[in-house]
Amino acid sequence: MISLQLNAWFDFSYRDFDAVRESMHSAISLNKAEVLDVVLDDFSEGYFSLSFENRRKLLITLAQVYDLNRAQVRDLIKQYLGLELPGGNASESSTVDEEAMLSCFYRVERNLRQVLKPAYEVLFERLNNRPGGLKFLSIFRADVLSILAEENIASLRALDSYLKEKLNTWLSPAALELHQITWDDPASLLEKIVAYEAVHPISNLLDLKRRLGVGRRCFGYLHPAIRGEPLIFIEVALLRNVAQTIQEVLWDTPPIPESEATCALFYSISSTQPGLAGINLGKFLIKRVIKLVKREMPHISTFATISPIPGYMQWLLSKLASQSILAEVENMSPSSSSGSVSTFRENILEPEEEKLLLSCSEESFPGKSGMDVMLKLLTSTKFEWISSPELLSALKPPLMRLCARYLLEEKKRGKALDSVANFHLQNGAMIERINWMADRSEKGLRQSGGIMVNYIYRVERIDECAHSYFSTGHIHASNDIRRYTLGV
């Protein structure tokens, strides 16, 4: 009996998957406008009823079965290559023969453009034109990205790239509304701000009210197709000076009068839709917020951030671990084979830093080298080092120096390795200052040893900085930051 019940359950699930797949096929292939709405509703409702594994099967089916027809593409390319290019001088009137040849080119080119569109484009377009369709497509893409994070399926990656291009077009700045979020907004919208805040969690209603009150601003991008839900939002503090710690911004102290503020500090940017990853809505949001604040408060002259450095500790711990191993191998290896090891060896710590770390940790965190000690301290889950003035003093010079190196010199494909750095730099910011013990939360210590960074948006140089970073990877930074890497 149990076996029969299980078989019946699996049969039902299989039929359910087949039904959704059939509705997807109909949504792509049908041309009857009067039934399309029903079919699209059936497909979207059916999609949400599927298990994630069945969604995965459906998405791979869509990517592979409804891809472009490459046989047609090849035939048209052969036709195109077989056409004879029109001759003659372009300044002279075209002959009848030349016009006929050009007509052949135009026809084949038009057909090529058509067959280079995958069949699933029809599904995306039709869904986008339906109420709730854009929200559905963002969830749809989030599922695609989840699958791609686990396995690299070429056809699914091509589908993702195509859908991302479509979303980029549909979410152009012209289609987005900049909305200042206030305490008077509907509770449903405020609940989403609390739920989606990704950088500095909102602890309670008083915390939320403070972030939306005097001396603070919160702006979000809304889209008419996704009502009551910001796609991305940014929190701003109005201050006299650029804050050096996040505690200055988040602590429950009375804000200054807004008329005395000279700095608009961006302290949190949160995206609410995982399916919109890689679509840089923040770039447009920051520029529009700067423009709006300047217009409403001319006395604000500085636009800056206090930002996390989420990749710093991961990079540093990996570097310390690998260098510690290489140091051990070099000490154990015969001199004849140590040359290959020394090629990859690097002196991460300065002599004074090494000496200080070894001397102040010999009892509580003994190690063979300064790197070994540093690795033990930074991987300790209890973060004992932040309560020891001696250890803090010993760790500050190397951590600050290596952080500057990480932000300025460590790159991936020619751009900043750190994701937040890359975001602000490509939007036209420059690195102004790194701040010691700026975030003492567990998350801040785990991500960056408590260090945070100020990026500055100099209004008159935003486009210049963005262009040079985009074209050459050049990172604009203050002299104070560069002194760390120059050893001055």
Give me the residue label for tokens 């299989």. 14
Distance of alpha carbon 363 from alpha carbon 368, whole angstroms: 13
Distance of alpha carbon 69 from alpha carbon 385, whole angstroms: 61
Q: Encoding tokens for residue 204?
A: 């309670």
Give me the residue label for tokens 């699933």. 120
178 close to 289: Cβ distance less than 8 angstroms:
yes
How far are the Cα atoms of 343, 357, 371, 374, 376 from residue 354, in angstroms, in the given order? 21, 5, 8, 9, 14
Q: Encoding tokens for residue 441?
A: 């939360």
215 close to 261: Cβ distance less than 8 angstroms:
yes
Distance of alpha carbon 433 from alpha carbon 423, whole angstroms: 17
Q: Encoding tokens for residue 289?
A: 């917020």
Angle, helices 120-128/33-49, rounded to nearest 10 degrees: 100
Give yes or no: 424 in active site. Answer: yes
Among candidate residues 270, 271, 307, 448, the one labeled active-site is 307
- For residue 392, give the 3-state DSSP assignment: helix
Strand order, beta sheet including 216-222: 177-180, 216-222, 232-239, 263-271, 302-305, 452-456, 430-435
421 close to 407: Cβ distance less than 8 angstroms:
yes
For 79-195, list the strands marked E by DSSP. 177-180
**Dihedral in degrees, nearest 10, Cα atoms 431, 417, 278, 306:** -30
- For residue 229, give the 3-state DSSP assignment: coil
Residue from 236, 242, 202 nearest 220 by CA: 236
Among candidate residues 25, 223, 424, 476, the one labeled active-site is 424
DSSP string, 268-319: EEEES-GGGTT--HHHHHHHHHHHHHHHH-TT--EEEE-B--TTHHHHHHHH
The residues annotated with a catalytic role in the active site are 307, 424
